Amino acid sequence: MSISNIFETSKRSLLNHQSAINTTAKNIANVYTDGYTRRTFDLSNLSLGFGNMSEDSISRVKNQFLDNQIWYENQALGKESMSEMLMKQVETVFGEPDDSGLASIMTEFWNSWSGLANNPESDSARSLVRDKGILLSNTFNRLDKNLKNLQRQTGIEIQQKVNEINQLVTQLGTINKHIDSHRSDDLMDQRDVLLSELSSKIDIQVTENPSGTVEVLAGGHILISENYTNQLKINMTQNNNGLFHSDIKTTQGDKSIVVKSGELGGLLEFHNIHVSSYMNSMNESAVSLANEVNKVHAQGFNLTGLSGLNFFKNTISGAGDFSLSAEILSDSSLIATSSESDVNGDNTTAQAIAELQYDELINGRSVLDNYNSLIADVGNRVQEATFIRQNQGKIVQQLQIQKASITGVSLDEEMTQLIQFEQAYGAAARMISTVDELMQTILSIG
Footprint on this chain of other proteins (rule: CB under 8 A): 31-32, 38, 87-88, 91, 94, 96-97, 103-104, 107-108, 110-111, 114-115, 117-119, 121, 338, 340, 342-348, 351, 354-355, 357-358, 368-369, 372-373, 375-383, 386, 397, 400-401, 404-406, 408-413, 415-416, 419
Residue 37 CB-half CA count within 13 A: 22
**CA dist., res. 238 & res. 84, Å (int):** 25
Q: Please tell me the total number of residues recorded for the chain in this structure.
A: 446
Closer CB to other proteins, 108 or 247, in the complex: 108
Q: Shortest Cβ distance from residue 322 to other proteins (Å)? A: 20
Tell which residue, 289, 276, 426, 274, has the closest CA to residue 371.
Answer: 289
| 59 bridge partner residues | 40
Q: Shortest Cβ distance from residue 103 to other proteins (Å)? A: 6
237 φ, ψ (degrees, to nearest 5): -125, 155
Closer CB to other proteins, 205 or 410, in the complex: 410
| Residues in Cβ contact with 319 at an 8 Å cutoff, skipping those fewer than 6 apart | 140, 141, 143, 144, 279, 282, 283, 285, 286
Q: Shortest Cβ distance from residue 151 to other proteins (Å)? A: 20
Q: Shortest Cβ distance from residue 85 to other proteins (Å)? A: 12
CB 163 within 8 A of CB 229: no
* Continuous segment of H or E residues that includes residue 233: strand 232-238
Closer CB to other proteins, 16 or 347, in the complex: 347
CB 79 within 8 A of CB 261: yes
Q: Shortest Cβ distance from residue 412 to other proteins (Å)? A: 5
Q: Are strands 204-208 and 228-229 parallel, antiparallel or unpaired?
A: unpaired
Closer CB to other proteins, 326 or 411, in the complex: 411
Q: Shortest Cβ distance from residue 402 to other proteins (Å)? A: 9
CA distances to 75, 440, 441, 443 from 446, rounded to whole Å, are 78, 10, 9, 6
Say what the alpha-carbon torsion angle 168, 170, 176, 178 is, to the nearest 10 degrees: -120
Closer CB to other proteins, 35 or 134, in the complex: 35
Closer CB to other proteins, 94 or 244, in the complex: 94
Q: Shortest Cβ distance from residue 295 to other proteins (Å)? A: 19
Closer CB to other proteins, 104 or 280, in the complex: 104
**CA dist., res. 94 & res. 383, Å (int):** 16
